[in-house]
Chains A and B, each alone.
Chain A
Amino acid sequence: MIKKLLFCGLLSFTTLGFSQDYIPKNDGVKTNTKNYTVFTNAKIYITPTQVVENGTLVIKDDKVIASGANVTTPKNSVIVDLKGKSIYPSFIDIYSDFGTSITPFNSNGNYSPQYNAKRKGYYWNDHMRPDVKAINHFKFDNSKAKTLQKAGFGVVNTHVDDGIMQGSGLLVALTNKADNSKRLLDDNSGMFYSTSRSKTTKQSYPTSIMGTFALLRQFNYDANWYATGNMSVKDRALQAFLDNKNEVQFFDASDKNNILRIDKIGDQFNTQYVFVAGGFEYELVNQIKNTNAKLIVPINFPDAFDMEDPLLARDVDLEDLREWNQAPSNPKILADNNITFALTTHNLKKVETFNTQLLKAISYGLNKTKALEALTTIPASIIGKSKELGQLKTGAYANFLITSGDIFDKKTTLYQNWITGQRHDINAIDTKDLRGEYSISSNHFLLKNDSLTLNIKGKIEKLKASFANNTDNFDATISFNNDWMQLMIPTKDSTKKEFIRFTSHIKSKTTFSGKVYFPDGTTSTFTANKKELEATTKDEAKKVADEAAPKLFPITYPNMAYGLNSVPQQETILFKNATVWTNEKDGILEKTDVLIKNGKIAKVGKNLSENGATVIDATGKHVTAGIIDEHSHIATISVNESGHNSTAEVTIEDVVDAEDINIYRNLAGGVTSIQILHGSANPIGGRSAIIKLKWGQTADQLIYKDSPKFIKFALGENIKQSNWGDYNTTRFPQTRMGAEQVYINYFQRAKEYDALQKSGKPYRKDVELETLAEILNKERFISCHSYVQSEINMLMKVADQFNFNINTFTHILEGYKVADKMVEHNVGGSTFSDWWAYKYEVNDAIPYNAAIMHNAGVTVAINSDDAEMARRLNQEAAKSVKYGNVSEEDAWKFVTLNPAKLLHLDKRVGSLKVGKDADVVLWSGHPMSIYSKAEKTLIEGAVYFDIEKDKLMREAIKKEKNELTNLMLEAKHKGLKTKPIEKKNKELLHCDSIDHN
């Protein structure tokens, strides 16, 4: 009974301020308290830039009534004097998953893949859930709310963090003193997206990030089509998406490059996303700025590694060391570049660390006003609530913080966090500040002869105390609540483990007295008198110096070892007296000069000269065209979209990774261009990216201008899923027989699609079929992963049926068996030099394949499919001399001119012909000898690899690593948090690689 009453009492208490007219009342009489609360004499940040000293803030119910210097106080006001204290608008976190939850999918031991959506009446893909509403999955989380209150937050914008399209958000005031009728400010507060799959389903597609991007595009097209009313079904996902198109669109990109990638998709559909950043945006700040996107920036700055063990420490890569040094300046650099951003607690392991991380960002140069804006006015404006949130003007929610001073000062105490007019006590506001040094006097014989000093430090809400006499120092435990202080110190005899306790009711900050309790049970009295201190200023100065922003190491691109400060520039270079492999009619020319100018091959001949050219004596050396790798999987973050048997809608161009060290290593092997192919997980794979290895430039700059269009197809064991384990036996095709039907079916559909498109009738835009139609229209070329002759022949026949040619068979290890048919079909072969025996279908693979195909008249290339071998493609070409006696001149074309032909790039690259791009390599000797090295690798006349410069870079890397290592050791020595060493160890991708997400 008592319990029940108590419960009712609590209820009526919490609803005091908010009882509504239409709610019946049975536990008393209806009252109407229309009092105002007025805060006076405070320094008020009405906005981050509008600050009033000695200001007044008037609130009533959940709103601000007035604020400023000259505000009249209404008569029925409760007045709170805040002399010496400050008021700030409380913080807003617009990217949160506060209080929401989902039920993850349970496989129940069934590991076979799921290809179709579980949900019906929604989009065909379970990972697209724009119809999800956070409010339907929301439960106010009291303990989390308290943590956020302590960190200074008043409002969060939460959502269900699940899936690619995650549905609509919910704006929540973090008060536990009102119910959902008051604290849910907006239950349609933006649409949310991420790059991660939904945990509620195991639908296979998309398995990769490039599949995710393609799906996003197709979904947008489908929504537009749906909007025209041409779709015969009701789709609640498309409908929800359309309904919310004008809401703020939040995209958790989590990574600087993904921001750039996704922004491009947004541009395609006139959507400007607000991006959740990754924390390293400073590395690409100009590109990020050019997106015009607003950002939500996490401040989970990395801890230092524990570098004590030198044997382990040397494995930490320079990029990780730099991240530690540079990441805390991310907010500052964004601010310096006028990028609009809000800060978030997202990605922090513990919200409790938010304030320390924030102070760190400030100590790294983030302007305090900017910091405050990023937590108040900017997030409010991003969600279109500038009038209600983020500031303290009339009409705004009464969401504010009362502090002891500058909110961005370490020593400042947060007293109260008011949310929608409700007070939340964080630290007692009337607590006396006891911090200082006191001399203790007592009559008791144990203390009498010591000149005892009590030192009280720390924060007001968390004091630390120590005692000192002439000789010793003891830590004491101290507590201070409601003006009662308790202190405890051990006795001097440390063997006994006995304690002396002090207690005092404190009335004055300068002197206090009370009782002492001794271990033997006796009691006495003591008095403490505050000392005047002068020495502290020196300590403070030292501390400030310690906390000053550390030295920032230079940011390169890519921001890692061998990264560059600036993009290599075109030069005029004259190679003198070299052996020149022209790959043209002239063949191999001895003692010949090559002039490079304006990014092109300007002249090839004897006794050339050119004013202003850098002359390089190449006597005894060889000059060749740069190597071209027809089949590579470096420089991409994703290789396979294996969720469907056809994925023509995905493209590697979406996921090019300009920060892969293997670009640099390939350059060191004389490689200048590569085709990054989709993998071989499905009969119809994704589109290629054809790039130049312009190390130091961003992904967009790497991709060929007016690039020829390519797509990967695949045959054989991989697409039949032969080696995928026993669970993967349901996707069509599981045999070579089925593969043929997949192609026929898709091409037939593409043909019909193309006809419809050309007819001018309305049609549903289908990226996949459109891509396949490009093949039929001879605008896109197939490079098909292939091994055994039967299926190679089959695909040529399918192509014949649809009146086009397969462009390239890649790998093509049994090409030698059907070389005559290949010639007839006019298809090229890009093969391995000597790989075999790794699976059943390469049992008849022979190293003479290139030679036989070449002799039969096929255009032959040798490819790598391997980041390591790619940098020795010159040697792989040499194997064709060994196996099958191909002439050296022709063998060299296998890795230069022929792949250029296969990629339709031979008008631009692949030989030393005047007018072609100056993609050129200087070799120390015969280019196909194992004893030769690439000394210089040029792309379009700019030197991208130089063996001498490489040596200097090695030294610089060593030096920088040492300096950073020392700084980390110093951090540990200072007692800062460190984490155990961890290596990123980027996985090398190849044909069979599947994204891990």
Chain B
Amino acid sequence: MKNITIIALLLITFITKAQQTPAAKQSEPISIEGATAHLGNGQVIENSLIMFSEGKLVFVGSAMLRIARLGKIIDAKGKHVYPGFIAPNSTLGLAEIDAVRATNDYDEVGAMNPHIRSIIAYNTESKVVESMRPNGVLMAQITPRGGRISGTSSIVQLDAWNWEDAIIKENDGIHLNWPSTYSRGRWWLGEASTLKINKNYKKQVQELKSYFSNAKAYNAKNTTNNKPFDALLELTTAKRTLFIHVDNEKGIVDAVNFAKENNVNNIVIVGGYEANLVSSFLKENNVPVLLQRTHALPNNTDNDYDLPYKLANKLVKSGVLVGLENSGDMERMNTRNLPFLAGTCAAYGLDKETALSLITLNTAKILGIDNQVGSLEVGKDATLFISEGDALDMRTNKLEKAFIKGRDLSLETHQTELYKRYSKKLGN
């Protein structure tokens, strides 16, 4: 009897721990008919027809057209189709439970770690990762944290057996945390825990300059093997993107100029709380911004209460290419709220389709994967989903189907299983 109990317990444990099985390759063409299609590039097609085969979109247009429907037909009248949402600057799969150190793999020791690669630690079996899919978040840039140069990120899709299969773009960029203008007083040493001007700013920038110059010198002729420098040099040789995490006006200008001086062509500002104050500079230099969480409090008491809500609008209106990112407190589990970050931008100035592009096509462009994903356009991956209603609003973001490269995903999760199990137990 005891044994049976144990086996039963084990079984339950097994069931609850098991992740959703990654979907199989698309075996037959699929046609989605009648939905409002939000293409991600600003356009909407009412009563649309979307067809994809072998993982690629083969038709995106009006359902009024009298053309042959391919394969299986999904009737999506009254529903909405969106390209899969992309979460840049994310630590999904690099940690499972914030408070359990053993599960954390996002922050390596050392200040200068350009050679650190996030992709090999990305856990496709993460329960947090699978919880993204039911909200439409289907891709992410897996990004290391910490230090001055955190390391190298890669871009994945969120339904895979292993990290290798998950890759959309490997080693897409290097992440640099720009020195901050302020530093906080160390209260445990009896200092007031106020923010003071960072006296070491100049020194810290100098350290970076010297690090980059040494990498360059090493490139000229050197016999020893220096992996960090090798990785850094790929910024120019392999045209990697330099993601500079910086919020304030002065830092942004300094950082962009620094990158330019070091011949980095692809520069992205991540965070960018004050980016709107230097939007013309950013536009001139063709530097896009991955804007911080819109669901945030203003930094200063004096700020408009809705300042973070309208930052995207300010930037977009001044012509800067903008995507949204969600780093911060409890960022992994919270990433499933990415669509609502965009929804807020629509509430505060942007039209809904432009707001949508902040988590689809714009982000794909910024990450350099727009030839493959980011919008519903023929030739691109069939990475998309069907929602009952407006996917940027909590009330109506209800997914019925989701596809990655045409693969029909499971929208079940650890959480939906518990939901069903206990609803059943309680007879509801």
- The interface of chain A, by Cβ under 8 A from chain B, is 311-312, 315, 317-319, 560-561, 661-662, 664-665, 668, 717, 722-723, 816-817, 819-820, 834-840, 843-844, 846-848, 852, 855-856, 867-869, 871-872, 875, 878-879, 881-884, 888, 926, 928-933, 950, 954, 957, 961, 980-988, 996
Query: Would A840 and B330 count as touching, CB distance under 8 A?
Result: no
Q: Is the CB of B184 within 8 A of A985?
A: yes
Asked if A317 and B196 sit within 8 Å, CB to CB, the answer is no
B335 to chain A, nearest CB (A): 11
B247-260 vs A, Cβ < 8 Å mask (1 yes, 0 no): 01110000000000
B426 cross-chain contacts in A, Cβ below 8 A: 819-820, 852, 855-856
In order of increasing CB-CB distance, the 10 nearest A-B pairs are A839-B99, A983-B195, A930-B343, A848-B419, A878-B394, A846-B415, A561-B302, A837-B333, A855-B428, A996-B187
Given contacts A868-B295, A930-B344, A932-B347, contact A878 B184 (CB under 8 A): no
Query: Given A820-B426, A837-B98, do A846 and B419 touch, yes or no (CB 8 Å)?
Result: yes
Contact digits for B404-428, partner A, Cβ 8 Å, 1 yes 0 no: 0000000000011011001100101
Task: Kindly identify which residue among A843, A844, A930 contacts B340, using a CB–CB cutoff of 8 Å.
Answer: A930
Q: Is the CB of B394 within 8 A of A879?
A: yes
A662: chain B residues at CB < 8 Å are: 297
* Contact status B395-A722, CB under 8 Å: no
**CB atoms of A961 and B302 under 8 A apart:** yes
Q: Which residues of B contact A932 (CB under 8 A)?
A: 347
Whether A312 pairs with B197 at a CB distance below 8 angstroms is yes
Please name 15 further chain A to chain B contacts, defined as beta carbons within 8 Å, in addition to the given A837-B128, A855-B428, A878-B394, sorted by A numbering.
Answer: A311-B249, A318-B302, A665-B297, A665-B305, A723-B99, A816-B418, A840-B97, A843-B97, A843-B127, A846-B415, A888-B395, A984-B195, A986-B301, A988-B297, A996-B188
Interface residues of chain B, those whose CB is within 8 Å of chain A, are 16, 96-100, 127-128, 181-182, 184, 187-188, 193-197, 248-250, 295-297, 299-302, 304-306, 330, 332-333, 336-337, 340, 343-344, 346-347, 392-398, 415-416, 418-419, 422-423, 426, 428
Cβ–Cβ contact A982 & B395, under 8 A: no
Q: Which residue of A lies closest to B298 (CB)?
A: A665
Assess the B394–A930 pair: CB atoms within 8 A. Answer: yes
Contacts A717-B99, A928-B394, A985-B195; A668 near B295 (Cβ below 8 A) = no
- Could you tell me if B193 and A996 are in contact, using CB atoms closer than 8 angstroms? yes
Out of A867, A933, A987, name the residue touching B347 (CB < 8 Å): A933
Q: CB distance A661 to B250 under 8 Å?
A: no
Q: Do A931 and B393 touch (CB < 8 A)?
A: yes
Instruction: Enumerate chain A residues within 8 angstroms of B128, measured Cβ to Cβ.
Output: 837
Offer 18 A-B interface pairs, CB within 8 angstroms, sorted by A: A317-B301, A561-B302, A816-B419, A820-B426, A837-B128, A846-B418, A848-B418, A852-B422, A852-B428, A883-B419, A888-B395, A930-B394, A931-B343, A931-B393, A982-B194, A983-B194, A985-B194, A996-B187
Q: How far is the CB of A719 from chain B (nearest CB, A)?
A: 14
Flag if B393 contacts A835 (CB, 8 Å). Answer: no
Q: Decide: B395 and A878 in contact? CB cutoff 8 A.
A: yes
- Given A312-B181, A985-B195, A954 and B100 contact (CB-CB distance below 8 Å): no
- Given A311-B249, A561-B301, A930-B347, A882-B98 contact (CB < 8 Å): no
Residues in chain B near residue A961, CB distance under 8 A: 302
CA distance in complex: A662, B418 (Å): 36
Nearest to A823 among chain B residues (CB) is B426
Inter-subunit contact B422/A816 (CB<8 Å): yes
Residues of B within 8 A of A852 (CB): 419, 422-423, 426, 428
A980 and chain B: residue at smallest CB distance: B197
Q: How far is the CB of B266 from chain A (nearest CB, A)?
A: 26
B328 to chain A, nearest CB (A): 10
Q: A315-B300, A561-B302 are in contact. Are A984 and B394 (CB under 8 A)?
A: no
- Are A875 and B340 neighbours in the complex by a CB distance under 8 Å? yes
A943 → chain B, closest Cβ, in Å? 16
Which chain B residues lie closer than 8 Å to A928 at the CB level?
A: 394-395
Closest partner residue, chain A, to B196 (CB atom): A982
B297 touches A868 (CB 8 A): yes
Summed over the interface, the residue pairs from A and B with CB atoms below 8 Å come to a total of 155
CA A982 to CA B128, docked complex, whole Å = 39
Measured CB to CB, the closest approach of chain A to B77, in angstroms, equals 20
Cβ-defined partner of B99 (8 Å) among A722, A819, A820: A722
Q: How far is B181's CA from A661's CA once the two chains are assembled, in angstroms?
A: 24
Taken together as a complex, chains A and B put the C-alpha atoms of A8 and B181 apart, in Å, by 61
A883 to B99: give the CA distance in the assembly, Å.
26
CB-based contact A929/B395 at 8 Å: yes
Closest to A988 in B: B297
Q: Is there contact, CB below 8 Å, between A875 and B302?
A: no
Known: A881-B394, A933-B347. A840 touches B302 (CB 8 A): no
Q: Would you call B393 and A878 a contact (CB within 8 A)?
A: yes
When A928-B394, A931-B393, A961-B302 are in contact, do A836 and B333 touch as well, CB less than 8 Å?
A: yes
CB distance from B62 to the nearest CB of A (A): 27
Minimal Cβ-Cβ distance residue in B for A838: B98
Contact indicator B182/A983 (Cβ below 8 Å): yes
Residues of A within 8 Å of B195, CB to CB, are 982-985
Residue of B nearest to A997 (CB): B187
For residue B420, which residue of chain A has the nearest CB?
Answer: A848
- Is there contact, CB below 8 Å, between A840 and B99? yes
- Known interface pairs A311-B249, A312-B197, A988-B297. Does A839 touch B306 (Cβ–Cβ under 8 Å)? no
Give B331 Cβ to nearest chain A Cβ, in Å.
Answer: 10
Point out the residues of chain B lying under 8 angstroms from A836, CB to CB.
Answer: 333, 415
A560 touches B297 (CB 8 A): no
Complex Cα–Cα for A183 and B263 (A): 75
Provide the residues of chain A in CB contact with B181, threshold 8 Å.
Answer: 311-312
Instruction: Specify which of A926, A931, A957 is in contact with B302 (CB 8 Å cutoff).
Output: A957
Partner of B296, one of A312, A664, A868, A982: A868
CB distance from B221 to the nearest CB of A (A): 41
Say whether A838 contacts B333, CB under 8 Å: yes
Instruction: Report B421 CB to chain A, min CB distance, Å.
Output: 9
What chain A residues lie within 8 Å of B343 (beta carbons)? 930-931
Report B-chain residues with C-beta under 8 Å of the C-beta of A996: 187-188, 193
Q: How far is the CA of A105 from the CA of B97 in the complex (A)?
A: 37
Q: Which residues of B sit under 8 angstroms from A929, Cβ to Cβ?
A: 393, 395
B27: min CB distance to chain A, Å:
31
CA distance A888 to B395 in the complex (A): 9
Residue of B127, B128, B302, B395 with most partner-chain A CB within 10 A: B302
Complex contact B98–A839 (CB within 8 A): yes
In the complex, A493 Cα to B187 Cα: how many Å? 55
A906 CB → nearest B CB, Å:
25
B152 to chain A, nearest CB (A): 25
One of B96, B197, B306 near A668 (C-beta < 8 A): B306
CA distance A673 to B83 in the complex (A): 40
Chain A residues, Cβ within 8 Å of B304: 954
Q: From A987, which residue of chain B is reached at the shortest CB distance?
A: B193
A819 to B422 CA separation, bound complex (whole angstroms)? 9
Could you say which residues of chain A place their CB within 8 Å of the CB of B346?
930-931
Q: How far is the CA of A863 from the CA of B251 in the complex (A)?
A: 37
Q: Name the CB-closest residue of B to A314.
A: B300
Task: Give the residue of A846, A933, A984 whose beta carbon is less than 8 angstroms from that of B194.
Answer: A984
Q: Which residues of B contact A980 (CB under 8 A)?
A: 196-197
Bound CA–CA A872/B309 (angstroms): 12
Distance between B400 CB and nearest chain A CB, rounded to angstroms: 13
- Compute how far the CA of A950 lies from the CA of B184 in the bound complex, rounded to whole angstroms: 31
Question: How many angstroms from the CA of A505 to the CA of B141 in the assembled complex?
Answer: 85
Question: What separation, in Å, do the CA atoms of A837 and B333 have in the docked complex?
Answer: 6
A835 to B343, CA, bound (A): 19
> Are A848 and B415 within 8 A (Cβ)?
yes
Shortest CB distance A297–B (Å): 21
Query: Which B residues are in CB contact (< 8 Å) with A988?
Result: 297
- Asked if A834 and B337 make an inter-chain contact with CB atoms under 8 angstroms apart, the answer reads yes
Q: Which residues of A contact B332 (CB under 8 A)?
A: 837
A881 and B395 form a contact (CB under 8 A)? yes
Least distance between B229 CB and chain A CB atoms (Å): 33
Given the contacts A723-B99, A835-B333, A311 and B295 also touching, CB distance less than 8 Å: no
The answer to whether B296 and A317 touch across the interface, beta carbons within 8 angstroms, is: no
Residues on B with beta carbons closer than 8 Å to the beta carbon of A882: 394-398
